[in-house]
Chain A
Amino acid sequence: MTETTTEIISTKMNPNVLPHLHIWEWHIPLYLFLGGLAGGLLIITAIMIVIKRHFGVGPRDEGEGCPCLAVRIGSLLAPVLLGVGMLFLFLDLANKFYVWAFYTTVQPTSPMSAGSWILIAFFPMAVLQAMLVNKKFLRDRNIGVVNKLIDWTEDHLTLVALLNAHIGIGIGIYTGILLSFFYARPLWSSSILGMLFLVSGISSAAALMLLFAPDNEKPIYSKIDVNALWIEMVVLGLFVLGGITGPSNNSGAMMHLIGGDYQMAGMSYMLWFWGIFVALGLVLPMLLEFLEAVGVHIRFPLVAPVLVLIGGLVLRFLIVFAGQTYHTFM
């Protein structure tokens, strides 16, 4: 069999399409990270509220119907971080004046349409939870509308939290399937990407809560984090294996990510993926938190959560960039 070659010369020159797709820069990975983080915060705080109210498990309440400090701060941060993320999302739109068009239709086959509606559901519910868990401080302020809103809903905090746990999961998954429905981009075309981003969002959120939780509340977030990291590693393994064992489009794209010498900020994807994300962002913090949980003294306990947050951010950048620099579906 003689070797044949194919040479293709094209006069196409559209700048954001060639030499490779280049439509999403730093805005989108940052938005996906913040969205995942906000979703994770909402899930964790909502579940903490439910299990404390329902089973009496968890750190001691603040009193006067307000949960512990980390849950209160986490509930506040969720809508704030998502708001910042959505600002980046808006900045990425090329036709900003037409942003209203998202809210004039529901397109069931477009994850971006579903996502824009979930985002709308997120805000009132997350803000309501943030208000209810901090109600004793809000009551002091004595703002008429806020007081009324708290009066109406304060007996239903568990219900609000239960709904929010679902909305949080919706946001977390949405940040992944936003990419995974594009079969034209082989790296993204994996249905487990939604789960990966969800679990990564939960581990990042637990890490963030670990940073600001008071010492007596830290152990529970450390446990959530170490378990989320463990699940994240399993899901990541499935994502990588699913890619490698897939047809040539997908296996090539996966090798482009995990073994590629294509560079991001002066370092190859391979180093970013294995060195920064897997080793520093997953394995090392999991080990540190595990050791801490079994009683080994860790000199700098905040290193682990910071590494998890960096890992989560790097994952979003890697997936968004590597998905664009690999060739289109063939």
Chain B
Amino acid sequence: MADKKNYGMVIDTRVCVGCSACVYACKSENGVPEGYCRDWVVQETKGRFPKLSMENRSERCQHCENAPCVTYCPTRASHYDDNGTVQINRSRCTGCKACLAACPYDARYVHPQGFADKCSLCKHRLDEGLDTACVSVCPTKSLNLVDFNDPENKAERLMNGKEVYRQKDHAGTNPSLYWISARNKPGE
């Protein structure tokens, strides 16, 4: 248990400036084909003029603990990795697209080479003890890689006392990505 990782992310929308560095870092790190993306930036503006509030956030596969893509995959191509992420085995993927239809976050796409593709949380970097590409370039430390099994509990430290949400929690997917809401006061 102690050795086993359970990776996720804590994304602080208070400091995200929507620069898209995470998107381009991912594209170059993972060779994402032109016209596609594994992560993306959303700018949500709410309210009524002039009282408007805005939240920038970087989004990607939620690496659900109860992932509909894995449930529905007919060939075990989509599977849970030991490190708590959801991965795709390209040499078992038939391109049936069931996972695209199953994902409530629309996080997947069909790679031009035929297999389903999405954020892997840079598994190849995690295996070497590195941060993900997006986390490593984030200029405002909005993106944070966390290990929920880590005894130091960085996730808890980041989120403690703040308004935090997960996306479409009511879908029952138990996602591994947490957002610190922009409604929180800035700073620590």
Contacts and interface: CB of A to CB of B under 8 A. Distances in A.
A109 B78 CA distance: 13
Interface string B90-127: 01111111101111111011100111100000000000
Given A93-B96, A96-B95, A16 B109 contact: yes
Nearest to B41: A11
B46 A4 contact: yes
A329 B169 CA distance: 12
Contacts of B92: 98, 101, 104
Interface in B66-83: 68, 71-77
Interface of A: 2-18, 21, 23-24, 92-96, 98-99, 101-102, 104-105, 107, 109-113, 116, 181-185, 328-330
A21 B77 contact: no
Nearest to A323: B101
B49 to A, nearest CB: 9
B97 A94 contact: yes
A17 B100 contact: yes
B72 A183 contact: no
Given A2-B48, A8-B44, A23-B97, A107 B76 contact: yes
A12 B74 contact: no
Nearest to B93: A95
Given A10-B42, A109-B72, 7 more contacts: A5-B48, A17-B109, A94-B94, A94-B115, A95-B94, A96-B95, A329-B168
A112 B106 contact: no
Contacts of B28: none
A88 to B, nearest CB: 13
A289 B101 CA distance: 39
5 contacts: A14-B108, A17-B106, A98-B91, A113-B74, A183-B171
Interface stretch (B32-40, B129-137, B139-147, B149-157): B32-40
A131 to B, nearest CB: 30
Residue of A3, A16, A18 with most partner-chain B CB within 10 A? A16
A93 B101 contact: no
A98 B110 contact: no
A13 B33 CA distance: 12
B170 to A, nearest CB: 9
Given A16-B100, A109-B72, A183-B104, A93 B94 contact: yes
B161 interface: no
